[in-house]
Amino acid sequence: MTHHVLVVDDDPHIRDLLSFALGKAGMRVSEAEDGEAAFAAVERAVPDLMILDINMPRLDGLDLCRRLRGSGGALAHLPILFLSSRDDAVDRIVGIEIGGDDYVVKPFSPREVVARVGAILKRGVPAPPPLPASVLRQGRLRLDGDAWEARVDDTPVATTATEFQLLALLVSLPSKVFSRDAIIDRLHGPGFAMTDRTIDSHIRNLRAKFARAGLDDLVETRAGVGYRIGKCG
């Protein structure tokens, strides 16, 4: 299957560069020059992944991501790879916290972007848990792997694809403490370039979302070791 990638950047040179690299990798590429144009494009046809620049006119990348994640349906789960400048460390962290799946820093290697896009697309649905059922439970938490749905009791909690997979990993082995490197390896494969801070941002984002649904003990932190699922009571 040919994947469709939407490249969103106000710099036409970057759009051309990425379109060429992704096209050579066998992907179908469309382009948008700003956030408003991108939102209109995904409403017409939802791509498999969006490459999204953070700093743009007419709706920047962070605000576009917030709009998508709050829209429900397929757009809420659209994988997003952020592009950011070297001096935008805060924006990169915020981008992950509001639902980005990964980021690449400018200036970048087109091969790195293609590799990261491929890694995100290969995830597809969450990895099957080591249980006969597709539903995972921990206390009041319920994860439905077929529907990509997380619930606290009867209350649905919207998660990104990466957040859902991370949570499913922790719930599938409730007694195990996962190091950040182990989480990255399980989600993306060994050698995938991602910082510990990215994992911390995903965890912080999950805690905030589930706390709003009344679940304050979603994930436990073991200092100097990593994370494991909480009692979710």
- What residue spans define the domains of the chain? 4-123, 135-229
What is the mean pLDDT of the segment spanning 223-227?
A: 90
Q: What is the pLDDT of residue 49?
A: 95
pTM equals: 0.59
CB 18 within 8 A of CB 7: yes
Q: What is the pLDDT of residue 105?
A: 86
- Percentage of residues of the chain with pLDDT beyond 90: 47
Q: Is the pLDDT of residue 85 over 50?
A: yes
Using pLDDT thresholds of 50, 70 and 90, give the confidence band for residue 72. low
Mark 130-150 as b/e (b = at least 16 C-beta within 10 Å). eeeeeebebbbbbbbbeebeb
Quick: pLDDT tens for 42-65.
999 999 999 999 988 889 998 999
CA distance linking residue 82 with residue 178, whole number of Å: 26
What is the mean pLDDT of the segment spanning 173-196?
A: 74
Q: What is the pLDDT of residue 128?
A: 40
Superfamily holding 4-123: Response regulator (3.40.50.2300)
Residue of 24 and 131 predicted with greater confidence = 24
Q: What is the pLDDT of residue 180?
A: 87
Quick: pLDDT tens for 194-212.
556 778 888 988 999 999 9
Q: Is the pLDDT of residue 126 over 50?
A: no
Token pair recorded at residue 53: 């620049």
CA distance linking residue 152 with residue 230, whole number of Å: 13
Write the class of the CATH domain 135-229. mainly alpha
